[in-house]
Amino acid sequence: MLEGIIRDSMTKQATKTLRRDGYLIANIYGKGLENISAAFKRNEFIKFLKNKETLAFDVNLGGNIVKVVVQEYQKCPLTSELLHVDLMVAQAGLKTAYKIPVKTTGIAKGLKNKGLLMIHTKRVPVRCTLENLPNSITLDVTELDTGDNILIRDLTLSDTLECFLDPRVPVVGIIKAK
């Protein structure tokens, strides 16, 4: 379980001090809940996210255990260092918007024909309850040739998920290398 602290001071100086001490600033929010300003050790947070197996995970903030999902994060444009993360409380039984990561399997035909695999949509936004939340969307790309795409309408999503992207938006495709 990920351990964090609740921030009591929201000043710019306090935020700079926390970042200098190796903390990652986080906002935790949810429907009908009061926002929580928190901070996590940056290295522990990154290690935890790389090793987690489900999209929703538990965090411990001053003795309170909260189940959260990563909604958004900000990186430094120069160093790509993680600066800030928005965590949404995953409430059971409540239909909420989540962003599900896309994973690919197989080696596409187009890669042998001097093509490049492009993941256009890294996270697909869907609305569902926490109980029906998948960990990822896995796509088999072995049949894709140069110029082929897998669109949102080609995804086989369960009936409990509703995607609110345009069905013509590409998720994965093979482009021709120059």
Q: What is the CATH number of the domain that holds 103?
A: 2.170.120.20
**DSSP single-letter state for residue 178:** -
Backbone angles phi, psi at 66, to 5 degrees: -125, 135
Same domain, 14 and 45: yes
Domain that holds residue 129: 97-176
The label of the residue with tokens 């809940």 reads 33
Identity of the residue numbered 2: L
Per-residue pLDDT for the chain (178 aa), expressed as one digit of tens each?
Answer: 889 999 988 899 999 999 999 999 999 999 888 999 999 999 999 999 988 888 899 999 988 899 999 999 899 899 988 989 999 999 888 889 999 999 999 998 888 888 899 999 999 999 999 898 888 899 999 998 998 999 999 988 888 888 888 999 999 999 988 7
Domain boundary among 90, 118, 145: 90
Same domain, 49 and 104: no
Residue-level pLDDT at 164: 84
Tokens of 84: 């800030």
Name all contacts of 17-20 with Cβ < 8 Å and 24+ positions apart. 19/83
Same domain, 77 and 126: no
Same domain, 82 and 105: no
Domain total in the chain: 2
Tokens of 19: 């970042």
Q: Which residues contact 98 (CB under 8 A, 6 or more apart)?
A: 55, 69, 125, 126, 127, 128, 133
Same domain, 12 and 76: yes
Residue-level pLDDT at 118: 92
Identity of the residue numbered 77: P
**DSSP single-letter state for residue 109:** G
Same domain, 37 and 85: yes
Closest CA to 128 of 152, 103, 102, 93: 93
* Number of CB atoms found within 10 A of residue 69's CB: 20
Same domain, 84 and 124: no
Which CATH number covers residue 48? 2.40.240.10
Same domain, 25 and 68: yes
Domain boundary among 38, 68, 90: 90
Domain boundary among 90, 107, 142: 90
The answer to whether 46 touches 107, Cβ cutoff 8 Å, is no
Residue-level pLDDT at 168: 92
Same domain, 64 and 101: no
